[in-house]
Amino acid sequence: MSTLATQPGTASTAPQTPAALQTISLQKRIDDRPILRDINLTVAPGQYVALLGANGAGKSTLLKILATLIPPSDGRLMLFGETVGWDGWAARRRIGLIGHQSMLYRDLSALENLIFFGKLYGIASSAARAVTLLKAVDLFDRADDPVKSLSRGMMQRVAIARALVHDPELLLADEPFDGLDAPSCRALEKLLAQLQQAGKTVVLANHDIDQSLRLSQRTVVLRKGRVVIDQPSQELTPPAILKEMERA
C-alpha cells in the first residue's frame, strides 16, 4: 500500500482535526428542479462512507459538488476545514475522483495519461509516480499500450491510478464497480480498503447495498435529494435501506 499513498495519513479523528468534508445546507437545483435539498454531512478524516440511493437520488450530483466540478446552488462546502469557493484550486489538490467514465485519453498510453495528469498537478517526478502507480494497480506490463486497447477492468484500474496520481487525502468514487467482472471488483474493493487504512477518506457512491455495508464504516442514503439515513454501516441491514430507498 505504501506505493499508493506516498505519505500515509494517521486516520486520527481527534477533536482538533477538521472534518475531511462538511456540507452545510447544501442545495442543488437544475432548471428550478431540486436535485439536492438541505444536505448536511460531516465526514471525519480517514472515514469510509458509502453513499446509497436509487437512480436520480442525487448521488452523482453530490459527488460532483464535493469534487468541486460543479457549484452548489446554495449552502456551503468545507473541505479540510476551509470553505471551498468556486475556484477551489487548493482543495482540488486534496481530492481524487473516480467517476462513471475513465477520464482518460484513449489515444494516449496508460503511462502517458498518468504523466500528463501528474504534471498538471505539479508533481515534480510525475514519471516515477506514474510507474509506481501502474505497478500498484498491476498494469505496469501494459504501461505503453494505448488506453483504448485495454479491457474495461484494466481501464478502470488506470482510472484509479489517475485519481491517485497526486496522492489525494479525499477519494470520491462514483459507482466504480459498474461494469467490472468479479475479480476486478474484488481487487478494487481491496484497493479502496487499503487506501482507507492508509488514512485516506473514502466516499463511495454505489448501487450494491450489501457490498456497501460490507466495505464502509458509515452509510448515507439519499432519497429525492435528501439524506434519509446516516448511520454506522454495522447498524444497518439491506432490507431497511431498501425500504427507505423505495419509500414514496
Partner 1 sequence: MIRAAKQSLLIAAKDLRIESRSRQTISLVVVLGILIVTVLGLGLGGQRPDGPAATAVLWVAYLFSGVLCFEKTMAVERQDGALAGLLLAPLDRGVIYLGKLLSNVVLMFAVAGVITPVGILFFGFDLSKAPLGFLAIMGMSMLGFAAVGTLFAAMVSSSRLQGGLLAMVVFPITLPLVIASTQLTSRLYQGDETWNGSAFAVLVAFDAIFLVVSWLAFEWVIEP
Give the phi and the psi of residue 11 in degrees, each rounded to 5: 55, 20
What is the CB neighbour count within 10 angstroms for residue 242? 14
Alpha helices in 109-220 (DSSP H): 110-120, 126-136, 152-163, 182-197, 209-215
By CB under 8 A, the residues from 141 to 160 that bind partner 1 are 146
Nearer CB in complex with partner 1: 26/97? 97
Count of residues near partner 1 by CB under 8 A: 31
Q: How far is the CB of 94 from partner 1 (least distance, A)?
A: 9
CB of residue 68 vs partner 1: minimum separation in angstroms? 8
* DSSP labels, 11-41: ----TTSPPSEEEEEEEEEETTEEEEEEEEE
Give the footprint of partner 1 on residues 83-142 (CB under 8 A): 87, 89-90, 92-93, 95, 97, 99-108, 112, 116-117, 119-122
Q: Are 28 and 35 in contact (CB under 8 A)?
A: yes
Copy the grid coordinates of residue 245.
Answer: 430507498
Residue 53 lies near partner 1 (rule: CB under 8 A): no
Q: Does 214 bind partner 1 (CB under 8 A)?
A: no
Asked if residue 82 binds partner 1 (CB under 8 A), the reply is no
* Per-residue x/- track, 10-49, partner 1 (CB under 8 A): ----------------------------------------
Tell which residue, 56, 124, 66, 122, has the closest CA to residue 93: 122
Q: Which residues contact 132 (CB under 8 A, 6 or more apart)?
A: 3
Name the segment binding partner 1 (CB under 8 A); options: 7-15, 82-90, 196-204, 240-248: 82-90
Binding site for partner 1 (CB under 8 A): 64, 67-70, 87, 89-90, 92-93, 95, 97, 99-108, 112, 116-117, 119-122, 146, 162
